[in-house]
Structure 1
Amino acid sequence: MEQHDAVSKWSEGFSLDVIKSTGMASCKVSNDRTYMICIDIVTSSFGMTKILTLTPSTVVINKSTIEIEVAEALPKTEQERWRLVKPEEIIPFWPSNMEGAVMHVRYTHNRISSTAFAFNQKHRTLLRMDDEERPALQVEVIATDFDGFRVVFGDYKIGDSPVLLVNCLKYVPIAFCQANDVRTQVLPPLHYVYYTWIDPTKSQALVVACRDQSVSIELNPLCGVLETNDRQSVYYAIFHDGPQTVLLFAEETNLIEAVTNIPSLGESMNQHIQIGIRDIGIAIIDDIARNDLFYISIGKSKEIWMETSKSHIKPLSHNLNKHLDEQYELYFKDQNAHPNDEDFANKKYRIDEHRDVSFDDYTAELTDHQGHRVLVKRQVLDGLWIGFAWSTSNAAFHVRINRVQIDNEHEFALFPVVLNPIVSKAAGTDI
């Protein structure tokens, strides 16, 4: 706690009657701040002693070779409080606003500060520092469901830059900037540059322009083409060279094929084999003592809305599933109240200000104001699903497992359920 803070109120209670548990507790103080404490409970090897470890929910770790200072980005009406972090030092960090959760870092010797970055989301990036000797500082935010956040700073090394742009065009420059930012840079022909985000809190995508065409590119492995009016196509590819993400521009497709190992930019995998098993149960038995030891079950998911295409299914987002379920309940109420009314059978329900939905038993059609239509179906996902697709030169293997549970079959087991699925706090889903 900061020196000027009063003693906090007691946190909510938690049980010690566990073998191992990790969680969070909140302690409020008089100035409306809330301190989050990580609680780790383990049982000693003797079996009778509980070891309780309390740690801050947010810590800052300096793995760089230079002294730095960190501070929470506060409104202009509040003064930032800088905390010194020496090399190889770990300090607790108590934010005033965990929802905003934005931080600055600066070098101690010259007070050069970075742009703000979020520390309540798992990510890794390179911060611009505007210093000739140390132009960048690497930061990684490590986040889990119950262990809080660790903000780790380190020296720049090859591979830390979000993207390496390589212009293999002989006569044409490439202009680029971060999405939603107006500060454009130009990469001359036959040049390359390591690039990091000007503002890490904005959309991490690049807007690239060549001659009279532009495209927004996210840094996922893909290939594309920029069509120009003079019919000279510019091809681009995003691929990984070790730890480094590379965005390459070229006029020859053979160069794109060489760096991405994709023989054809238009080749698709049309051959598919799919195997789905709804539920599986495996019993582990001691054959000598003739006792059941464990029972492992892989079960189907709950019913969710999914978009289906020729060879695969895609679950809708958690929020969209939630909205569809709410409207689906209204649809069933209307059907039960007016079973033979065609108007209610064809009624459209509003999801949000841009989309409507109409239902037909277990299927639905989503429409927007621009006339786009998407068909979705309410169904369950198999407990075990295996898919294999291939083409002349490519192959893909996909395995999906839902709801794994392991039960202890011993007669007098302290914990009859060894492993079971829970709702993820990070993803917010329970499929």
Structure 2
Amino acid sequence: MSDGVELIRSGTPAFRRTALALAAAGFSTFAVLYCVQPLLPVYADDFGVSPAESSLALSLPCGVLAVALLVVSPISEVLGRKPVMLASLFASAILTIVAAMVPGWHGFLALRALTGLAASGLPAVAMAYLGEEMDARSIGLSMGLLVGGNAVGGMCGRLIAGIIADHATWRLGVGTIGVLALAAAFAFWWALPPSRRFVAHRMRWREVPGTFGQHFRDPGLPWLFSEAFLLMGGFVCVYNYIGFRLLDPPFSLSQTAIGAIFVVYLFGTLSSTLTGEVASRLGRRKVLWLAITVALAGILMTLSENLWLVVLGIVVTTIGFFGAHSVASSWIGRRALRDRAQASSVYLCLYYLGSSVLGTAGGWFFAHSGWTGVVAFVGVLYGLALAVALRLSRLAPLAPAP
């Protein structure tokens, strides 16, 4: 119990409904954002743009989403968690369907940017919802399930769009993802229990910078924010440009085969859930650096000229990344003792800025040094992330949750 209101505990019907709803929400958001990733080589050919410019189909919505998070999060403090998340899911699904029908590159990019704006209403607000409504012993598992939904959405979005693009058109693939996202929005509407601990309050916009600033005075939160930028930026670089490498000799894979590789996101689903549970038992500071080390090992494995070792490297990278993200994101929810939505939005702002800025920057390294350049760039990012994780392992114990 907390404040006289029963918290949601694992194993209860309320927990199962919450898990279903947030898994559907994570699926929808990541499917609409990342369905274009395996299609970047297709866009480069179809629209006559460079690999780095084609990455704007993903980097632009992620960049817009990152900035919008800082505004949407305070709005959820006024309007409530579920209404904001629901509007986000429906709007992003509809915009994805419309984007599939726009003929020009710049029109397509404009709708992708609007999709990022619409999607901003889900990630930080969902983390805040869990921080408010979940029992402390269940939050690690619930956050792992949310991240797992993200992983399934990312996998299915990439896989379905890639296969349909190979056998029909990329427009049909993206439109199909929009329809699936719309179905997920209806599932979320039905399943998510209403907030019981949330108390709406009038937002004084002049005070918003101060609520964000307090999180940067905490000795641990800024380091966790930096992890989001480094980890996601490096991870997106791997997935943005691996398709270009695998289309070329010595691999010469088809678009369908490259899309099928994204099935490895299932390992991310398992990793996020299991790592979240292990971190709840052993402590986040003991698990975060290990997950990053695993991801770094996987990145190095992709240098091989053996296809199976490259695929295994992608698997290992995915396991390590989702494990690290699950640990870091749940740590935010426990470390921020007030204004959790704002703390979550700062974390996710840097998470998606990493995807946007570093994901596109990786194109420069690919253009100048090929896949070796990408691996070197991502290796530096993950080396820095590992150093931050070791710094966090020496952090003083957290204050008890309220």
- Normalising to structure 1: TM-score of the pair? 0.21
- Normalising to structure 2: TM-score of the pair? 0.22
**Rg larger in 1 or in 2?**
1
Higher relative contact order (CA 8 A, sep 6+): 2
